[in-house]
Structure 1
Amino acid sequence: MPLWIPITIAAAFCQNLRSGMQKRLKGRMGTTGATFVRFGFGLPFAIVYLILVAGVNSEAVPRPTAVFLAAAAAGGIAQIGATFLLVYLFGFRNFMVGTAYSKTEPVQAALFGFLILGETVSPFGLLAVVAGVVGVVLISIGNSGGGSVLRGLGSREALIGIACGALFGVSAVCFRAAALAIADGSVAMRAALTLVVTLFIQSSVMLAWMTLRDRGELRRVAMAWAPGLLVGLAGASASAGWFTAMTLQKVAYVRALGQIELVFTLASSLFWFRETVTRLELAGAAVIVLAIFGLIAGA
């Protein structure tokens, strides 16, 4: 089994854990603060991870290039926007669908990967990616009470989710571009350096924004430092996995396999948040699982 597959599955699990804790923070602070926690509290853990990678492999940290910094900055800004939209969705849709709508990302990532990096996917891989999105559509329709496809996809929540998925797709492609722009270093080192630089940029941008526009949110973030650290740890762990997997494999494949997060999300909705799940949502999750198996078989 290629190494990127178990790394992606682990990253998806950590991401679902982070999203669940992030949703709980939404009641203690605004959308901006809940978004910042993922980056600002994750940065110290990312730095520790970079130091460990350098120490274990006995390798020096590569010198960042201009292309690397530009790609990391573009990906970081896009991810801030995507995370803001995802957290915002939690305010008026349940946890399952708030995540599901953003899962149109793999198809969009395949498009952006082609436009930005010139990467293509095989016909079988594209079929698996599309099948996963079909599963997402079934989940969204199931939650809307069995309405039509057009009505389900035309809702405010769906449009925000699709925009969220587009920004996540752009950010993932930019992160891969940043890691590939580093000529020297192991896969783990390039991924770790990309993670640290990205989180530093994201934390700096959001700290500046809150300092200028919403200092009250800064106080609320500081008061929630304990759960914030847990979100940061889970977020940094997930990002380390995503960045490593995307350094090893094309973004479309990694993000398509990452749809397994919906299986974890379904479990969270049922057993953690005590939310109801419809038959269409279960059918959509089953389609996604089958798509994932097809992707793994063709990898």
Structure 2
Amino acid sequence: MWVFFTLLAAFMQAWRNAFQSQLSADVKVAGVTLARFIWAGPFAALYLYGLSLWQPITTPITFELFTAPFWAYVIGASAMQILATALMVQLFKMRDFAIGAGLAKSEAIVAAIFGVLFFGTDLSVLGWIGVIVGATAIFMMSTREGIKHLSLATLLIGLACGSAFALTSLWVREASLCLDIPFPHRAAWVLLWVIGIQTLSLLLFLAIKDRATLLALWQRPRLTLLISLSSCMGSIGWFSAMSLQAVPYVKTLGQVEVFFTILISTLFLQKKVKIKDVAALVLIGIAAVLVMWS
């Protein structure tokens, strides 16, 4: 199940990144970040309602179910995901779409290190090899013109972006484990609360500081809706997978997103694929097999 949800997440996230890359050409970073969440809340609520009909649970959903540690993890994950998305949009503005998305995928190796050091994650030898092979592939993708052409600012923002995404994922998993309800309901509740906090926070910030950006989103309803829909579906996949499996495994397998990204870049954004990209895809495939076997 975690493999299915991870593949769903990777596919939808590749589309979301492509749509955000397009929107970033005309809208500020905060606006593109908000586009990820603004319509995702209703989709998440509909998903949770559908789950309650398809697989009813006997545990009453009361406020006592959501403990103090749960709120701490949810609020932390919400803040980190906003920061990570803003940094990724900044990468899109500094480099091209594929390089920005590639640098953001450094989260797998960061999640492995943070998970082992601070979250009690236990990785097998094959798991570590898979994570390292995947990280090598992502580095190859992100330096397609050679490392000399990759500025220090781009590299640092990419690592910061990956670290913020890694912390988001680790805290989402911890929040899910705090809920004493069955899968996939616990992942759906975490998703709904995270999206709600993010949407209200960004809406309030832009309403006070930059109403012109809200107007810019209002004038681009189709692209904004596509970003929110693909983001919500991707988050359903990520949150569900991370409720079932350790984050480093999920994020390493999730690097197959780069395959979808290259397809979208080639077919949808009219970018050319280089030999180095193909080699990196082979390494990502090997990494995916290793983490599934481990």
State the TM bucket, normalised to the shorter chain: over 0.9
2:156 corresponding residue in structure 1: 159
Aligned positions, number: 290
Runs of 4 or more consecutive aligned structure 1 residues displaced over 6 Å after TM superposition: none
| Corresponding letter in the other structure for 2:29 | T
1:191 corresponding residue in structure 2: 187
| Corresponding letter in the other structure for 1:105 | E
Partners of 2:151 and 2:280 in 1: CA distance: 18
Query: What secondary structure sits across from 2:94 in the alignment?
Result: coil
User: How much does 1:266 deviate?
Assistant: 0.9
Residue 260 in 1 paired to residue 238 in 2?
no
Alignment of 1:77-116 (within 5 A): 77-116=79-118
User: How much does 1:202 deviate?
Assistant: 0.6
| Corresponding letter in the other structure for 2:246 | K
| Corresponding letter in the other structure for 2:34 | F
User: How much does 1:153 deviate?
Assistant: 6.2
Partners of 1:194 and 1:116 in 2: CA distance: 21
After superposition, the C-alpha distances for 1:203-240 in whole angstroms (9 at most, x for unaligned) are 11111211121111111122222321221111111001
Residue 122 in 1 paired to residue 119 in 2?
no
After superposition, the C-alpha distances for 1:40-62 in whole angstroms (9 at most, x for unaligned) are 22111001111111121122546
Partners of 2:8 and 2:179 in 1: CA distance: 25
| Partner of residue 35 from structure 1, selected from 33, 41, 49 | 33
- Identity across the alignment (%): 32
For normalisation by structure 2, the TM-score amounts to 0.94
Q: What is the RMSD of the two structures over their aligned residues, measured on CA atoms?
A: 1.5
Question: Given that residues 136 and 284 in structure 1 are in contact (C-alpha distance below 8 angstroms), is that contact kept between their aligned partners in structure 2?
Answer: yes
User: How much does 1:31 deviate?
Assistant: 1.2
Question: Given that residues 45 and 236 in structure 1 are in contact (C-alpha distance below 8 angstroms), is that contact kept between their aligned partners in structure 2?
Answer: yes
Question: Given that residues 75 and 197 in structure 2 are in contact (C-alpha distance below 8 angstroms), is that contact kept between their aligned partners in structure 1?
Answer: yes
2:215 corresponding residue in structure 1: 219
Q: Closer, same or farther in 2 for the Cα pair 1:30/1:154, shift >3 Å?
A: closer
1:285 corresponding residue in structure 2: 281
Partners of 2:46 and 2:205 in 1: CA distance: 26
User: How much does 1:152 deviate?
Assistant: 5.8
After superposition, the C-alpha distances for 1:110-133 in whole angstroms (9 at most, x for unaligned) are 122223321121111011000001
After superposition, the C-alpha distances for 1:81-140 in whole angstroms (9 at most, x for unaligned) are 000011111112111111111111111001222233211211110110000010111112
Unaligned runs of 5+ in 2: none
Partners of 1:295 and 1:194 in 2: CA distance: 25
| Partner of residue 135 from structure 1, selected from 137, 141, 145 | 137
Query: What secondary structure sits across from 2:43 in the alignment?
Result: helix
For normalisation by structure 1, the TM-score amounts to 0.93
| Partner of residue 72 from structure 1, selected from 61, 74, 88 | 74
Partners of 2:143 and 2:214 in 1: CA distance: 37
Query: What secondary structure sits across from 1:29 in the alignment?
Result: coil
Question: Given that residues 13 and 230 in structure 2 are in contact (C-alpha distance below 8 angstroms), is that contact kept between their aligned partners in structure 1?
Answer: yes
1:233 corresponding residue in structure 2: 229
Partners of 1:98 and 1:32 in 2: CA distance: 17
Question: Given that residues 100 and 142 in structure 2 are in contact (C-alpha distance below 8 angstroms), is that contact kept between their aligned partners in structure 1?
Answer: no
